[in-house]
Structure 1
């Protein structure tokens, strides 16, 4: 038996195929849908699993940080993280926990308004498809499409909606000084991002950007509670990964999505703070609206992908240029002023006032 056949056999219930191929439409008998995890409602899992995933996944990166298990894959040295970040680890953990509390309470209220989900109608709907779809299309493909491909398509559309929502709000907060100063600047206290700081935000920003944005996507696409489990958990893991501080060759998120830890790290640096607003999945809004940072384009590999080595070279070249400019400036200043110390120079406005 081939691997493909083995996978299909696990995704398909043979008895269902026989019912779908029958001449008579199957009877629909609705019964309440059981949770994917026995004993727990899917709505509860959709709220709890993302929080568990956040701390579990970020803890892996934290252990890597503390034990220095992957220093060769770090975007910035540990010393730089400790030196440049302005928020303490206690503040970060406290604020993330607070956001999770707000997120969970909002979810409880939302799911309390949701109606009971039922099952038992699916084979009848696929049977209806079978009557109109040409017989050249096998029944098993209709089954896979109904149960899995359509769910995948809905979740993908939700990805696009989340990206659109977060890009718009994120860019708005950067373009308006009041919004940046009072709300979004909190997140940028982490100049060098790390995993469990992914949701370190002002509470209002966190609520609007993440909780409301993901909720809107779920409602617009009409996701089931099980699909919400996938969307919420996957989005959480992706957000943590974007802030993890590592570029890892085996990281599936960084391989699948162009919007990855390096792409988002550029946004956290002072030279890229007005660029790379897209998050958390794609980069098309930055490309369409001209906010994609292009300064690293010359450092990509032959496939146009920004590697860690390329990014490090960009950062080093940029640092070397700044040092060269600073050296030339000081040399020119000393030549003009005749002073070895800029603070002692008579050209210094402070000293001019003292001499008056």
Structure 2
């Protein structure tokens, strides 16, 4: 009798929770959250860009537009070799951003130190420390994808972009133009990644391609581009490169966007919900449960209702910017397991 009562109570709680999910703002709530995040990032980038430029001008005693002067010097060094300049800007700079970020994360993943960072693990019982054999296998695939898949693809993109305009023009785009293009790239990536990602979850494709990426149910940063080469082209590269390609973006904008995209996907996979960094809870839940949270911003997931189960969880409650030092697994702990 008591067991039946508990089951009815639990069922009532689940139904109430589902109703709350349906009534918590729906698609509009997701859109406003995404707009707030993107808008805040753009404003921060604008403020940081202006402040950094002012300080650099004072430090180096530069006159006029510091960034244009710096770009002109670099441009003249590569004059007549635009393809080499484009390749360095779209391969070397993003790879430095990727491995610089992941190098720091790997130190924690492999050594478990400094220990105060491990307190922020999204899945506290996993990767403590990471399996080194599995990690080395993933790193080899990541390097292969970067060198033998991304490399040739970027060279093809250079020729396609050259038809659209002059990617290595001696004149930099305006700051406002650069921000507008970055915003467009965010939208294009959300659309392309969501639908290509869902496509690779089709049973006929999943077992041949995407299953490799999901070997990591508790991801770490470096596995963000650990994927079958076919998936790397279709779901990692195309969503990122299509925006600059359609816009005919300048190399500097394209390079900045690639760096931002790689750092963003690294944070989403890193496995640590660190203070003042974007929340990785959304994509971490995807690795844990497979059938939820396919996108980047979450707007299309809300539209297609592929985040409904996620929004019933503690992970959803933790899916916010951490502005203190107390890990969210402590301030918003999991429900204690019920006795059978």
1:246 aligns with 2:272: yes
> Higher mean Cα deviation, 47-56 or 189-198?
47-56
SS at match of 1:94: helix
Counterparts in 2 of 1:187-266, with a 5 A limit? 187-251=213-277, 254=278, 260-266=279-285
SS at match of 2:205: helix
How far is the alpha carbon of 1:93 from its aligned partner? 0.7
Cα distance change of structure 1 residues 34 and 283 upon mapping to structure 2, 3 Å threshold: farther
1:291 aligns with 2:306: yes
1:72 aligns with 2:119: yes
Match of 2:334 in 1: 316
How far is the alpha carbon of 1:153 from its aligned partner? 1.1
> Higher mean Cα deviation, 4-13 or 187-196?
4-13
2:304 & 2:252 partners in 1: Cα distance? Answer: 34
Stretches of structure 2 that go unaligned for 5 or more consecutive residues are: 1-47, 66-70, 79-83
* Richer in helix (by share): 2
How far is the alpha carbon of 1:75 from its aligned partner? 1.5
1:316 & 1:275 partners in 2: Cα distance? Answer: 19
1:61 aligns with 2:98: no
Contact 2:281 2:315 in 1 (8 A): no
Match of 2:41 in 1: none
Counterparts in 2 of 1:24-173, with a 5 A limit? 35=74, 41-65=85-109, 66-69=111-114, 70-77=117-124, 80-81=126-127, 88-101=134-147, 102-115=149-162, 116=166, 117-119=168-170, 147-173=174-200
Picking from 200, 208, 219, the partner of 1:182 is: 208
Cα distance change of structure 1 residues 183 and 11 upon mapping to structure 2, 3 Å threshold: same
Question: Normalising to structure 2: TM-score of the pair?
Answer: 0.67
Cα distance change of structure 1 residues 193 and 298 upon mapping to structure 2, 3 Å threshold: closer
1:100 & 1:240 partners in 2: Cα distance? Answer: 15
CA offsets per residue over residues 239-266 of structure 1, 9 Å max, x none?
1111111111132xx1xxxxx3111111
Contact 1:299 1:310 in 2 (8 A): no
1:166 & 1:268 partners in 2: Cα distance? Answer: 15
1:267 aligns with 2:267: no
2:87 & 2:216 partners in 1: Cα distance? Answer: 33
How far is the alpha carbon of 1:162 from its aligned partner? 0.7
How far is the alpha carbon of 1:156 from its aligned partner? 0.9
1:72 & 1:250 partners in 2: Cα distance? Answer: 15
1:5 & 1:57 partners in 2: Cα distance? Answer: 24
**Matched pairs, number:** 266
How far is the alpha carbon of 1:278 from its aligned partner? 0.8
CA offsets per residue over residues 269-318 of structure 1, 9 Å max, x none?
13xx2111112xx11111111111212269737xx83768555687732x
How far is the alpha carbon of 1:154 from its aligned partner? 0.9
SS at match of 1:165: helix
CA offsets per residue over residues 105-128 of structure 1, 9 Å max, x none?
1102221454354346x8xxxxxx
1:76 & 1:178 partners in 2: Cα distance? Answer: 30
SS at match of 1:73: coil
2:113 & 2:64 partners in 1: Cα distance? Answer: 53
Structure 1 vs Structure 2 CA RMSD: 3.5
Question: Normalising to structure 1: TM-score of the pair?
Answer: 0.65
Cα distance change of structure 1 residues 315 and 216 upon mapping to structure 2, 3 Å threshold: same
Stretches of structure 1 that go unaligned for 5 or more consecutive residues are: 17-31, 123-145, 255-259, 329-356
